[in-house]
């Protein structure tokens, strides 16, 4: 069980989403991530421009999450907050 999330087999990653300035854009980005099996939680920081994603690593990985956002036209990268 992950000590931070309390979810068995969960991992957490922070994705920096560039160029977004409104709540609507962040909501769309969060919804893109939430539709994938294994994504348990998405928290968007409007001020930081970051998405904190908790997911089950046996179902999806951070590269797939980044690719999902890129496929929809978002400019994204892993944050330096990742371990």
| Residue 25: CATH number of its domain | 3.30.70.100
Is residue 54 domain-resident?
yes
Domain presence at residue 20: yes
Range of the domain at 59: 10-78
Is the residue at 39 inside a domain? yes
Pairing of strands 39-45, 10-18: unpaired
Coil, helix or strand at residue 15: strand
47 in a structural domain: yes
pTM value is 0.82
Query: Degrees (nearest 5) of the Cα angle 39, 49, 80?
Result: 80
Comparing CA positions, the residue from 47, 22, 36, 21 lying closest to residue 71 is 36
Predicted local distance difference test score (pLDDT) of residue 3: 52
Does some domain include residue 71?
yes
Q: How many domains does the chain have?
A: 1
How far is the first Cα of the chain from the last one, in angstroms, to the nearest whole number?
17
| Residue 1 is assigned to a structural domain of this protein | no
pLDDT < 50: residue spans in the chain = 1-2
């Amino acid at each position: 069980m992950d000590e931070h999330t309390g979810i068995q087999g969960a991992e957490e990653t922070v994705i920096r989403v560039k160029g977004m300035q409104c709540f609507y854009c962040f909501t769309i980005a969060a919804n893109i991530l939430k539709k994938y099996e294994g994504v348990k939680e998405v928290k968007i920081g409007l001020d930081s421009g970051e998405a904190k994603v908790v997911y089950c690593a046996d179902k999806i990985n951070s590269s797939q999450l980044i690719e999902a956002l890129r496929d929809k036209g978002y400019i994204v990268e892993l944050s330096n907050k990742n371990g």
